[in-house]
Structure 1
Amino acid sequence: MPELGATRPPPADLWRDALALAGHGAMLHRGGHPEWVDPTLAEQLGCALPALYARPFHAFDDPQNAERLRRQGDACLAGSEAEAIHITVNTPAGATRHFEVRARRTDDSTGQRVLQVFIERAEAAPQRRPDASIRALLDQIIAELPIATFILDAEHRVTHWNRACERISGIPAERLLGTRDPWRAFFDAPRPVMADMILDHADATSLEPLYSGRWQYSPHIPDAIEAEGYYPSLGESGRWIYFLAAPLRDTDGTLTGAIETLQDITERKTAEEALARTNERLETTVADRTRELAEANARLAKDIDHRETAEQELLKRYIELTELNCQLHDAQEQLVQSEKLASIGQLAAGVAHEINNPIGYVLSNITSLGGYLDDLFRLFDSFEALEADRAPDDPALLAVRKLKQEVDFDFLKEDLPALLRESEEGASRVRKIVADLKDFSHADQTQEWAWANIVKGIESTLNVVNNEIKYKASVVRNYTDIPAIQCMPSQLNQVFMNLLVNAAHAIEAPGTITITTAQPDTEHVRVSIADTGCGIPEAVKARIFEPFFTTKAVGKGTGLGLSLSYGIVQNHHGRIDIDTTPGQGTTFHITLPVQQPDADTTPSADSSGGSPPPCGESTRKVK
């Protein structure tokens, strides 16, 4: 007994036979390469079957028909619902045939294919006309578009020339509508515009002579072309125009016209030309300097040519020069920062000189004024005691009482001492701010080794950068009793400033900056600055001390803060260590020697350092 289904033909044979019986032409292809063509289709088209296998879409007489068939097949392969299309074919024998073409995708183990079935109809499918109101709305939209736009129909006649097009070309729509002369807006003699070339299916060989490398197929719009050019007839001194032309098709894919838009890019091209001239001048300057350097190198090589080791000596000098340039660059950046701090110090000194004396006058006068008020209030108390001896209806007494009510004497007596206290506190705060700024910059000290209390330096730095921190984080101080160290105080203050500001910038939501001091051994002290910010990724951590490396936005950082801080700590024979966890925060540990190995070991009696006041083991939090 034969196996069930053994005599059943394969599925492909089934639908091929079914199509043959139905009398419809059909073609099965993969990406436009036929794998099977129904002989009925060859008969309907009046061509040989091998010709259909060789060039299937060329048998359909019109390039538009071929393009529409390709589009339908591509839609099937993409998984979209492919609508039926209607085409009209003129056979070699002169007959006209109308087909409704339906398509579907077939999948099997060998891949995907497209089956297109050609159902012959007695007459062409009726063309759908857009509703008059819709067409009027479209006309109005095109007319009001801010982008210059014109449209040609399939016969190359101008159907639309909007107001923006009138402005950019200077030609009213009435002169061009219904004509085949859109070229008049741009050229002195007749020649096709880009919309004409879309309608003529122009290829690269036709476009290149007209646009000389200033055109391309649009990367965004199928079958569209972009171009640009300079047109001296536009405007007072000519304009650069960018063109975009695209085909217009009806619902069946038939080409019904072309649309072209124009944009004035004169300003952009002018800027590009200015930039090109600048680049050219820069390249010339660089070439001149390079030539001068080459000539100098040649002279140098010639000067030492008589030596047996000329090549080695030149290489040695080059290496030394490179290293010296690197050292000079680093020194220059540190000098810039030092000059900034020096300027701050000079400013602080000037402020102290100009403000301290007036503040002294104010504080002295406030103290004197307080004494005078006490005397006046005692005098007023004596006058009030005399009131009891006067007649209640004494005119003078009544006048005094009325005046006391008018000026609210009781309120004045209570408020004046408070005003004096607040004024004294404000003046004292000004004096304290000036002192902190002066301590931070150490403008009154030279850049020499000095014994300093680094806790005092941290506090001065916190006062200076308080505005950067106070809106981002609370500062927690964990100070322990550590000795004074031999250092350059203003440079260490710069390190603390960089780390504190970076910590504040790393915190997005309100967080905490914790400052901890410790003495890990008798010869070193350690300052740790921890934040609850975003942390540092491992890939970035290895580069944070490189000059000019920064993760901040453009204009927010120079990439020099940590590099200079690293150099300062190295110059102090110390080190910086980092503990960081992305998303949780970062801690910088600064370890410094108590005494510098090559500096003066005698503490100055009047230095700003000396032994720091004991900080104890307490922890205090200041918001």
Structure 2
Amino acid sequence: MTTKDDNNPSGHDAGRAGLQDLLQVFHGVNEALFVHDSKGGILELNERAMRMFGVDRNRALDLDFGRDFFAPHAPMRKLSRLCSRIDAGGNLLFSSTARIPGEGRQFSVEVYMKKIAWRGREAVLTTLRDITRHKEYESRLRIRRKQLEAILDAVPIATFVIDHEHKVVIWNKACEAFTGVLRDKTLGRAVDSRIFYPGPGRQVLADLVLEGNVEKMCTLYGDKNLASCLYIPDAYEARDTLNIQGEARDIYFLAAPYQDVQGRVLGAIETIQDVSDRTRVERALKSSERRLREITSNIPGVVYQYYVQDRDTKMFTFISDGVRWMFGLDPYKVLEDQELFFQSMDEDIRATFLQALESGGESDELQEFIFSMPGGPDGEKVWIKNRALCRVREEDGAVVWNGVLTDITQEKRLEIMRSEVERIVRHDMKSPLIGIAGLGRHLLKEDLSEKQRNFVVTIYQSGIKLLRMLNNTMSLLRIEQGTYTLKEERVNLAEVFCSLHEELLPSAENKGVKLEYYLNGAAMTRSDSVETKGERILLESLFANLLHNALEASPTGESVQVVIKRSKDSCLVDIHNQGAVPANIRDRFFDRYVTHGKQYGTGLGTYSALLIARAHGGDITFTTSEEEGTHLFVTLPIPY
């Protein structure tokens, strides 16, 4: 018996062509495809599957799909049971562990199974996607989240984080202690506002910041000192008096969105601080402006009155019980012998404190200074602020100080924490900046128009300048505060200037200015030895700032000369350019933020250079005139 199709060869040809098209699509899919029966017999596989498992088609057709292509304990070892679970028109999707036949090497895959008809029989189409890298990313993400949780758990400020669905993902230990609510009760759920506010549930500040709903923020927090945060973009802060764990507290809370590197908002973070003590101190200080002469017992810390008649007659006339818990001293014994108080301090702190007390004069301004001393747990430093008002008694001319000592150790810890966050930010910013500067330098080798070259030079200079600023920000801050300790080493200035020459050469060539270096009257080379002592990175910053300024100030076609002369105990570096310092800034040339005529000048180059020079025991001076140009003289010590 024949059919219509049997008598129609063109129909058979069309069928075969359709099958060939289907097989071509089958083999062109970028994921591994297997067609097999429920017992593991392989009927067909595509080219991607062959490459993934390193087998050819003939070998694969002789293998058992469940036994040979999957790890011993993988679900696919019970293939027939899995296949029986696939309903008509249904599918299975799960993760498993595949292996290379004969090798044993294993890797993670995502498995998608679906029943199909294959060449007139029931079969299963299984798609395998290698998710090894995805698993690695997930593992890294889990590790980083654990690290972040550990960091936030070490933060003494109550902090919680919500994701883009407003569900809590982090609730740190300080938040548990502050609210009395364990993290297990909050994770994966929206923040329960009843932890903070009585009555029906409502959105907390983090929810509103995440939505960017300023109107609702004003409705809920308008009477709670709501304000945008000055130093965090899109963040808001507020203060309120709340009943937390049955106790009324003055609370300061701040919420900010957090983003990925593409700028997409991923969630929000909120910190909650009990500022009850701070609020009480603020109120007490306002009152003390009117009644500062009275010694009060409600100010936290050590309240004291100190009397100075002359060099030999000086004593505490009052000291509060705060000295007991802050210094571990009996207040009555301190009144009898003031040395008990001062001997607990280091000699330099003791001298500073006594000098301040003995040199006072009538003033309406509160005098403040901060000092540290051992006394915390495990020998940790305790930071203390002295805040006092001085009066001169009319009857005998004696100087009387009414003051208070407060423990600001916690504030100092927060400063250190903030510095660490700044360090992390600087580190994360350096990589893209290095890339920007490197790309700029590479582009300068290309055939560019003058306008394009100017743009690229600006990009290169800005990248290098910002990199240097990031590297030195915290060091300069500590130098400025007088708390920086140099990590001294021998530094060869010849190597420093050779390195800076390569960095500044694109800018110099673009402007048509030559860079020349001389040592004791002869041209200097990298092999020369001109040693000084100090920190190389800081000295590079010093001379980079001065050379950069000299290049900017130099007329086109001239040269910037660096002349180094050594003497017995110092090294003199003369940086000369033909430009003159404008007359209106010569008296303030080394002051902070002083600049003139520079589109992107910050006015920090010479200021930071002078800070660094003096931190090294050196100095910077200059001469300038329209005829001779400008000479900057940097003096540095040489190692013995």
Which of the two has higher C-alpha Rg?
1
Which structure features the higher share of strand residues? 2
Q: Which has the higher contact order (CA 8 A, sep 6+)?
A: 1
TM-score, scaled relative to structure 1: 0.28
Which structure features the higher share of helix residues? 1
